[in-house]
Amino acid sequence: MSEQVLLGDEAVALGAVHAGLTAAYAYPGTPSTEIVEYLIRYAARHGGVQASWSTNEKTAYEAALGVSFAGRRALVAMKHVGLNVAADPFMNSVIVDISGGLVVVVADDPGMHSSQNEQDTRYYADFARTMCLEPANAQEAYEMTRSAFELSEQFHIPVVLRLVTRLAHSRGVVRVGDTRAQNPLRMPRDRSAWTLLPANARRLWRELLDRQQDLRAYTSRQGENRLELADSRLGVVTCGIARNYYEENRGDLPFQPSHLHIGAYPMPIDLLRKLVAHVEAVLVLEDGYPFVERALRGVLPPDKEIRGKQTGTIPPDGELTPDIVRVGLGLQVRQGVAAPPIPVPQRPPQLCAGCPHIDTFNTLLKATEGLHARVTSDIGCYTLGALPPYNAVDSCVCMGASIGMARGAADAGFHPAIAVIGDSTFLHSGITPLLDAIVADTNMTLIIADNEVVAMTGGQPSAIPSSRMEPLLKGLGVRPDHLHILETHPRLVDRNAEILRREIEHDGLSVIVTVRECIETARDKTKKKAHA
Ligand code: SF4
């Protein structure tokens, strides 16, 4: 046993290595990025495990599934909305007979610090009929990752590990154990259990449903879930990280409520029943959606009071905090020390000085002067083109949506319809909607702002270098006479705007790739060279 100070994400990564991980895959996404970043560094230093970035969460998931198929242990990591992209293999992989342990780490972002929604991964795990573990601190993140591999192999299912931003990005002291040897390569015990033809799938689905009682038996024992029966006036249910906020306030209460902590799902129905039978009222503290609260409302007698997000005792949106929990427990808000007023200038988010996207947006604004252009955008630094001084973007919904939406907007009659997408987002989810637009020769213009990296999450490499973008686009079927690869630079804005304007006037699909490396990545490279 030794101790290390680790981020929640890093504790997951090290827990996986110590559990005998063979390979890990991910597409970067805040707040999960540091898991595979840690594993890539670990693999470079120590060898033994493979860790790499994938083109998107679906391809990452499928690679991890292949490792499990070969009998070895795999981890796939993503942010919560990434699971939407990987939902197809995820839902189906719960039905197959998982061989090597498969752990699906999903980092939710309550409070939307860097996301477009607050979706709660516990629903996905429940929807797929699989198990979900929810650590409360970095130590549990480490331990639960190790357990998740064991449970995956015990029950032959992928096991979800749900993190939230506050845990993924907090550091804590973690006691770490020994490293387990990797599994040997082995054939699945039943090949038909990996081939989801309807006849096989019907049998496997039935078997999965039969296994639910084993999963519930596991979560109803005292382990990750813990029940302490105390005062009967109130029962507090905490889920994952909410336990810390409760513990911080518990000592100030005039009595000690009964307490059920949930760190493993399916819902521990027996423990919930015992708690509810013992208390007059229940307060549910959970980050994300009212997942447990809603389940309780369905099973409790109507005279039993339940307090939580649905009653307004806890705000229905945003992150939990110790003070929110304090108010939910009926305690007075603590008075903080009044900080002396410091005049802090407003700093709205903006593109870095010298960012190549600045030149792309200046080009776009110049080319569309006098036109009623509709610009659908995508997820990346360039989404900031929606804000002043550019105000150049009308939408940003999900990865890759810019292209499909521009196609639909053009079909509906908008002209010019222009999509702006970064190179890594294009490779992640933009290729298939572009194929649709190519097939239909949609009257739209696509701008791929190619800065050569996944800039927003810290400069991870794009799936392919810029030099391969042109052959890729030609190979997809973009007409060479309406495909332009343009260096972007302040001195080239006028020239590029002329080309873009011509292509906007073309009655059909045009693709413009504006290329220059992210200035932050370029600076990092220069620094590294200087220190080499
Ligand atoms: S990180 Fe790179 S791409 Fe993002 S705003 Fe800064 S310079 Fe532009």
Question: Which of left, alpha, beta for 63 (phi over 0: left; psi -120 to 50: alpha)?
Answer: alpha
Ligand 1 neighbourhood includes 517 CB (under 6 angstroms)? no
Question: Which of left, alpha, beta for 50 (phi over 0: left; psi -120 to 50: alpha)?
Answer: beta
Q: How far is the CA of 357 from the centre of ligand 1 (A)?
A: 8
> Of all helices (H) and strands (E), which one includes residue 448?
strand 445-450
Alpha-carbon separation of residue 119 from 8, 59, 287, 347, 440 (angstroms): 20, 21, 11, 28, 34
- Nearest of 213, 262, 257, 227 to residue 242 by alpha carbon: 262
For ligand 1, pick from 33, 114, 352, 423 the residue to mutate: most ligand atoms within 8 Å of CB: 352
pTM of the model: 0.92
Q: Quote the CA–CA distance of 526 and 180 in Å, as a whole number.
A: 40
Q: How far is the CA of 210 from the centre of ligand 1 (A)?
A: 51
For residue 257, which phi and psi values (nearest 5 degrees)? -65, 160
Q: Quote the CA–CA distance of 399 and 289 in Å, as a whole number.
A: 23
Question: Which numbered atom of ligand 1 lies nearest the CA of 459?
Answer: 1
The answer to whether the CB of 496 falls within 8 A of the CB of 488 is yes
For residue 456, which phi and psi values (nearest 5 degrees)? -65, -25
Report strand pairing: 445-450 vs 417-422. Answer: parallel
> Which residue, by CA, sits nearest to atom 3 of ligand 1?
518
Structure-block tokens of residue 246: 């409760």
User: Tell me, what's the pLDDT at 335?
Assistant: 85
Show pLDDT as tens, one digit a residue, over the chain (532 residues). Answer: 799 999 999 999 999 999 999 999 999 999 999 999 999 999 999 999 999 999 999 999 999 999 999 999 999 999 999 999 999 999 999 999 999 999 999 999 999 999 999 999 999 999 999 999 999 999 999 999 999 999 999 999 999 999 999 999 999 999 999 999 999 999 998 989 999 999 999 999 999 999 999 999 999 998 999 999 999 999 999 999 999 999 999 999 999 999 999 999 999 999 999 999 999 999 999 999 999 999 998 777 778 899 999 999 999 999 999 999 999 999 998 888 888 888 888 888 899 999 999 999 999 999 999 999 999 999 999 999 999 999 999 999 999 999 999 999 999 999 999 999 999 999 999 999 999 999 999 999 999 999 999 999 999 999 999 999 999 999 999 999 999 999 999 999 999 999 999 999 999 999 999 999 999 999 998 988 888 7
Ligand 1 neighbourhood includes 85 CB (under 6 angstroms)? no
> Which residue, by CA, sits nearest to atom 5 of ligand 1?
351
Three-state SS for 10?
A: helix
DSSP class of 430: I
Report strand pairing: 257-262 vs 226-228. Answer: antiparallel
For residue 2, which phi and psi values (nearest 5 degrees)? -140, 170
Question: Which numbered atom of ligand 1 lies nearest the CA of 384?
Answer: 5
> Which residue, by CA, sits nearest to atom 7 of ligand 1?
355
Q: How far is the CA of 505 from the centre of ligand 1 (A)?
A: 30
User: Tell me, what's the pLDDT at 529?
Assistant: 86
For ligand 1, pick from 30, 33, 351, 462 the residue to mutate: most ligand atoms within 8 Å of CB: 351
Q: How far is the CA of 529 from the centre of ligand 1 (A)?
A: 20
Ligand 1 neighbourhood includes 360 CB (under 6 angstroms)? no
Structure-block tokens of residue 482: 């309406």
User: Tell me, what's the pLDDT at 241?
Assistant: 97
Question: Which numbered atom of ligand 1 lies nearest the CA of 521?
Answer: 2
DSSP class of 156: T
Question: Which numbered atom of ligand 1 lies nearest the CA of 422?
Answer: 3
Ligand 1 neighbourhood includes 357 CB (under 6 angstroms)? yes
User: Tell me, what's the pLDDT at 445?
Assistant: 98
Q: How far is the CA of 421 from the centre of ligand 1 (A)?
A: 14
Q: How far is the CA of 157 from the centre of ligand 1 (A)?
A: 40
> Which residue, by CA, sits nearest to atom 8 of ligand 1?
355
The answer to whether the CB of 423 falls within 8 A of the CB of 469 is yes
DSSP assignments along 273-333, one per residue:
HHHHHH-SEEEEE-SSS-HHHHHHHHHS-TTSEEESTTTTSS-SSS---HHHHHHHTTPPP
DSSP assignments along 99-135, one per residue:
-S-EEEEEEE-TT-SSSS----HHHHHHHHT-EEE--
Q: How far is the CA of 453 from the centre of ligand 1 (A)?
A: 10
Structure-block tokens of residue 89: 């293999």
Q: How far is the CA of 460 from the centre of ligand 1 (A)?
A: 12
The answer to whether the CB of 479 falls within 8 A of the CB of 509 is yes
DSSP assignments along 166-235, one per residue:
HHHT-EEEEEE-PPPPPPPP---S-GGGG---HHHHHHHHHHHHHHHHHHHHHHTSSSSSEEE--EEEEE
Q: Quote the CA–CA distance of 448 and 335 in Å, as a whole number.
A: 51
On the CB side of 41, how many CA atoms lie within 13 Å of its CA? 9
Q: How far is the CA of 503 from the centre of ligand 1 (A)?
A: 26
Q: How far is the CA of 13 from the centre of ligand 1 (A)?
A: 27
Question: Which numbered atom of ligand 1 lies nearest the CA of 358?
Answer: 8
Helix, strand, coil percentages (3-state) for the chain, rounded to 5, are 45, 20, 35
Beta bridge partners of 6: 172
Q: Quote the CA–CA distance of 238 and 227 in Å, as a whole number.
A: 10
> Which residue, by CA, sits nearest to atom 4 of ligand 1?
381
Q: How far is the CA of 111 from the centre of ligand 1 (A)?
A: 24
Q: At what angle do helices 291-299 and 121-128 cross, to 10 degrees?
A: 50
The answer to whether the CB of 421 falls within 8 A of the CB of 469 is no
Three-state SS for 417?
A: strand
User: Tell me, what's the pLDDT at 304?
Assistant: 87
Distant-in-sequence, close-in-space partners of 319: CB < 8 Å, separation ≥ 6:
110, 111, 164, 165, 166, 287
Ligand 1 neighbourhood includes 24 CB (under 6 angstroms)? no
Ligand 1 neighbourhood includes 518 CB (under 6 angstroms)? yes
- Nearest of 215, 208, 212, 214 to residue 193 by alpha carbon: 208
Q: Quote the CA–CA distance of 114 and 517 in Å, as a whole number.
A: 23
